[in-house]
Amino acid sequence: MDEIGLFFSTKGRIDRKTFGWCVLAVYVLGFFSQTLLSGNVIARAGLWPFTFVQVALIWAWLALHIKRLRDANEDAAGAIGVAIVYSLAISLLVLVISLFTGFSHPHDRPPGGPAPAGDAALGLILVILIFGLLYSPDFGVFTTLLKIMVVIACLPGLISFVFSLRTGLRKSVPPVALPAPPAPSAPPPAA
């Protein structure tokens, strides 16, 4: 199987070792795709590059898991469900970023609107504020609620990682051979 088909086709089977390396590549690419959320990229191309890369990575993740589950003689419904949950989380992330930046494409930004550097600074301030709240015992119930929301925001990534581990550790099962069709019987003798 070629490299493109390995990541984007749901046909066939893959062994545990190949699955492990390919899924690791998908997770590493997903980590580095966060650079597409930088102010310069958003200012030039909007959120579209990040969105397209995430769609491709989710499909690659799903294709790899379907093939690995087929190799373990398992159903792919769990992988589809995890991919849907992760897709919804990415959709929410794109929506929130779009609301915070005020535009999804550079042409949507009004003249004199916030500069990308201002957006990056605002994001940095928000991250510092959130971490300050998370590790400060002075806010009581608010801090507890904020911690719960951060955990909920991280759940789709954690669920997909745990699912990948469990899928990768399943033992391979030889393909089930279909029974041979019955041999054609001789035609009845003519009377």
pLDDT at 157: 87
Whether 162 maps to a domain, the answer reads: yes
Q: Is 122 a member of any domain?
A: no
DSSP symbols for 113-137: ---HHHHHHHHHHHHHHHHHHHT-G
**CB 33, CB 54: distance < 8 Å:** yes
Q: What is the largest CA-CA distance in the chain?
A: 101
Q: Is residue 63 part of a domain?
A: yes
pLDDT attached to residue 172: 84
Does any domain span residue 126? Answer: no
51, part of any domain: yes
Which pLDDT score, from 0 to 100, does residue 14 have? 92
pLDDT (0 to 100) of residue 170: 87
Residues 54, 83: Cα–Cα separation, whole Å: 11
* Confidence at residue 110, expressed as pLDDT on a 0 to 100 scale: 54
The domain of 56 spans: 3-111+157-168
Q: What is the pLDDT, as a whole number, of residue 103?
A: 53
- 26-79 pLDDT, tens digit per residue, is 999 999 988 888 878 887 888 889 999 999 999 999 999 999 999 888 898 999
76 vs 167: CA distance, rounded Å: 10
Our count of domains for the chain comes to 1
Stretches where the chain sits below pLDDT 50 are 104
For residues 94 and 58, the answer to whether their CB atoms sit within 8 Å is no
